[in-house]
Amino acid sequence: MEVRPARDRGEVDQALALREQVFCVEQGVPLAADRDGLDDLAVQVVAVEAGRVIGTCRVVVEGEIGRLGRMAVEAGSRGRGLGAAILAAAEQSARDSGASQMRLHAQRYIEDMYAAAGYMPYGEPFTEEGIEHVAMEKRLA
């Protein structure tokens, strides 16, 4: 398995299809909410195994702030540490683009993964597309 920025449109398309499966089919999020117009501005990070994207997230860098979003891992590949590996690659991508801080909205059920990687919650929990979230941030070294 390899975790890295997407290399071509085919990998980006696979990442978008995976997000649709996880967010729209599994979690009931409307497709329009997932496709918010920021994907072309983002670095799409992918976990690729046997030529297939099995995990993804995106990073949008604005000045010194990296915004991580749309983290998704296919159902059959969960529990293997892919989220942490994708997160590490996303942080490196943000650093490479000049970010010194990463921010994200974590679904509450996965908050512990982000906390284990050094993310701290800020503000009050909130609901986004019917799913409980918490804002988190981390200083990038």
Measure the CA–CA gap between 45 and 67, rounded to whole angstroms. 13
Residue 113 has pLDDT above 80, yes or no: yes
Structural domain for 78, as ranges = 2-139
Which structure tokens are listed for 6?
A: 């997407």
The answer, yes or no, to whether residue 57 has pLDDT greater than 80, is yes
Cβ atoms of residues 9 and 16 within 8 Å: no
pLDDT tier at 141 (50, 70, 90 boundaries)? confident
Distance between alpha carbon 132 and the CA centroid of its chain, in Å?
Answer: 16
CATH of the domain at 29: 3.40.630.30
Q: Cβ(4)–Cβ(92) under 8 Å?
A: no
Domain tally, the chain: 1
Q: What's the confidence (pLDDT) of residue 84?
A: 94
Please give the structure tokens belonging to residue 79: 């529990």
CB atoms within 10 A of CB 45: 28
- When pLDDT is averaged across residues 10-38 and rounded to a whole number, the result is 94
- pLDDT value, residue 109: 92
What torsion do the CA atoms of 71, 76, 79, 82 make, to the nearest 10 degrees? -40
pTM above 0.85, yes or no: yes
User: Phi and psi at residue 27, in whole multiples of 5°?
Assistant: -105, -5
